Amino acid sequence: MTTNNTDVIGDDQIHLLDELQVLLEKQIELARQGNIKDVGILSERGAWLVEKIAQTGILDPAPRRGGGGRREKLRKLYEDLCLAITAQKADVSEKLSRVRKGKKTIQIYRSHI
């Protein structure tokens, strides 16, 4: 939408941005709780929203579009989501390593009994 040669973000576009922001915040919360399965399920909706937002161009870097602040907020949320998922991955890897060590210990005990 354009007003006096200045691009304005419409209500539908704002709704898309708001929905993406809420979705990212929910995914971060789920990832921090260790619920990676639901993070993945929500990512399908996130991909659809990102596609729609990209089609509208509302976050284009052109200064007159007015989406710069929102773009930065969404980028930060995405980074936080990546960090939360990475932390969960590290936690799962550590637990898996402990399980493997425990399994080896049990196998050693069994072989000596």
How far is it, in rounded angstroms, from Cα 4 to Cα 7?
Answer: 8
Instruction: Give the count of beta carbons closer than 10 Å to the beta carbon of residue 105.
Output: 10
Q: Where are the domains of the chain?
A: 2-88
Q: Angle formed by the axes of helices 11-32 and 68-112, to 10°?
A: 20
> Residue 30 class from Cβ within 10 Å (0-12 exposed, 13-18 middle, 19+ buried)?
buried
Per-residue pLDDT of the chain (113 residues; tens, 9 = 90+): 444 333 456 788 889 999 999 999 999 999 999 999 999 999 999 999 999 999 988 887 665 555 678 889 999 999 999 999 999 999 889 999 999 999 999 989 888 87
How far is it, in rounded angstroms, from Cα 52 to Cα 40?
Answer: 19
DSSP-derived 3-state class of residue 67:
coil
